[in-house]
Amino acid sequence: MKYYVLIPDNRIANSLSFTADESKIKSNEPFIINIGKTSKLDVVDMVTVKIIFNSYFFICDELMRIFRMYDDSVEATTVFISTDDFSVQVPYWRLEIESTNNIVANEFLKVEDMLINEALAKDKSIHKIHYEKQTYLLVDQYVAESILRRLPYGFRLQQVKILEGAC
């Protein structure tokens, strides 16, 4: 099976991004993040917020539906992103996925060279993985195909290499 990492698309100049207090982000209650004033903003399907050593993934409704279709154990908290004048009001879901340990079989390389241990990856369709001081979402081929059929905006799928038959 093939696996893909979801990576922000750097070609989008004015993509939605925000920061927030980590205690607020970790909350299990729905919350609002005000991003202030903005003149031009492209609302993307996935936003990654990095705070110190933690990464938090915020995904749109459509991606959340896909994730839950393939893994009904995916938990999320509703987050509303709004501007000062309320011209932009977008709901997102903050994913709550446990990290999959030891799934990456190599270190110190680019994402394109990431080597995934297939034996550890095949029991789930969606993984949160740590690689080179970064955190990524890893999805299998079926999830990736469902995402691509819905024309995602603001991120790309990067195929990773597979270490077959490893234990």
Amino acid 62: pLDDT: 95
Contact in structure between 79 and 18 (CB atoms under 8 Å): no
Q: How many domains does the chain have?
A: 1
Q: How many residues does the chain have?
A: 167
Range of the domain at 24: 3-163
What tens-digit pLDDT sequence spans the chain (167 residues)? 999 999 999 888 888 888 777 777 888 899 888 888 877 788 899 999 888 878 899 999 999 999 999 999 899 999 999 988 888 889 999 999 888 888 888 876 788 888 999 998 988 999 999 887 789 999 999 999 999 999 999 999 999 999 876 54
pTM above 0.95, yes or no: no
* Angle, helices 61-70/141-149, rounded to nearest 10 degrees: 150
